[in-house]
Amino acid sequence: MPEAPPDEEPALRVEGLDVTYGRAVSALRSVTLTVPHGQVVALLGANGAGKTTLLRAVSGTLRLHRGAITAGRVRYGSTELDGRDPVAAVRAGVVQVPEGRRVFAGLTVDENLRTGGLGLGRRRPDQVAEARDRVFTLFPRLAERTRQAAGLLSGGEQQMLAIGRALMTAPRLLLLDEPSLGLAPQMVYRIAEVVREINTQGTAVLLVEQNAGMALSLADTAHVLEVGEVRLSGPADELARTDAVKRLYLGETTDDTATTGTDTTGTDTAQTAARTEGQGAA
């Protein structure tokens, strides 16, 4: 397992981050946030707000999507991450589970798991066995289906496999992009339980979710991204009580005036909410 950064250090520190795609698309502007060691941090926001882009900047996959960091920095412990090198991120202990359960459909469950951690080079068999045991303890269904082609698994099982494959790298920080998307409520509940368990075992989680209720129930802190900028930040339970979050992300009807979260721009939160709503929030 990669060496943990000192406990008093934030595990992940994103400072003043700007990301663009080509010359025309400014996807993130001045984004600053931290994921402290061992915590769950939720990232909420409407479609196109920049959530996936932030995960790509951390996991080193921006270049694959023709994106680039144009200002600011991403650090994990003492490692500088430049958004362009996924292997460096995995070696530092950071791994992303992309949206859409991208498993290798023609490979078996076991073969999919073995592709996890390939970028780490040669590892001791006992380290690989330990990682596999952890995956099978978390997901007994995968243990029962090791020889089955991944493409024949249900959507929920494929999501388990995608998370399991990431866990094969024994990450210290797991980046999860919409793990509940398209899953039945019972499976969403199971995935939430597993995220909590993974975190209890000592892995920090940066969680992007459209299911804000689930994300806020799991998270220590949360941030709301709006058109590429962080507009609200705070303890997850406090944010869940703000009118803006209740109305836009939890589907509740609210009194428009009272808010308690920290609007990072100092803008009135109800105005911010109204603007987000106009852009078709989730």
Q: What's the rounded Cα separation, in Å, for the pair 89 and 144? A: 31
**Which stretches within the chain are classed as H helix?**
51-59, 86-92, 109-115, 125-138, 140-143, 155-167, 185-200, 212-218, 236-239, 243-249, 269-278
Q: Which residue has the tokens 């866990």?
A: 167
Q: Of 6-35, which residues contact ligand ATP (CB under 6 A)? A: 21, 25, 27
Q: Would you count residue 65 as binding ligand ATP (CB under 6 A)?
A: yes
Closer residue to ligand ATP in complex, CB, 27/206: 27
Span interacting with ligand ATP, options 2-10, 45-53, 127-135, 154-162, rule CB under 6 A: 45-53
CB 119 within 8 A of CB 59: no
Residues touching ligand ATP, count (CB under 6 A)? 13
22: left (phi over 0), alpha (psi -120 to 50) or beta: left
CB 6 within 8 A of CB 78: no
Q: Would you count residue 49 as binding ligand ATP (CB under 6 A)?
A: yes
- Copy the structure tokens of residue 165: 């494959």
Closer residue to ligand ATP in complex, CB, 102/106: 102
**Which position among 4, 13, 18, 48 is part of the footprint of ligand ATP (CB under 6 A)?**
48
Nearest to 261 by CA among 222, 226, 234: 234
Least CB distance from residue 12 to ligand ATP, whole Å? 17
CB 16 within 8 A of CB 54: no
Span interacting with ligand ATP, options 40-48, 108-116, 141-149, 243-251, rule CB under 6 A: 40-48
Q: Would you count residue 97 as binding ligand ATP (CB under 6 A)?
A: no
Span interacting with ligand ATP, options 41-49, 150-158, 191-199, 247-255, rule CB under 6 A: 41-49
R_g (Cα) of the chain, nearest Å? 19
Q: Which residue has the tokens 């984004």?
A: 31
**Which position among 2, 5, 38, 50 is part of the footprint of ligand ATP (CB under 6 A)?**
50
Q: Would you count residue 181 as binding ligand ATP (CB under 6 A)?
A: no
Q: Would you count residue 52 as binding ligand ATP (CB under 6 A)?
A: yes
Q: Would you count residue 53 as binding ligand ATP (CB under 6 A)?
A: yes
Closer residue to ligand ATP in complex, CB, 66/102: 66
For 167-197, letters b (16+ CB in 10 Å) and e give bbbbbbbbbbbbbbbebeeebbebbbebbee
Least CB distance from residue 47 to ligand ATP, whole Å? 4
Q: Would you count residue 51 as binding ligand ATP (CB under 6 A)?
A: yes
Span interacting with ligand ATP, options 47-55, 80-88, 179-187, 246-254, rule CB under 6 A: 47-55
Interacting residues with ligand ATP (CB under 6 A): 21, 25, 27, 45, 47-53, 65-66
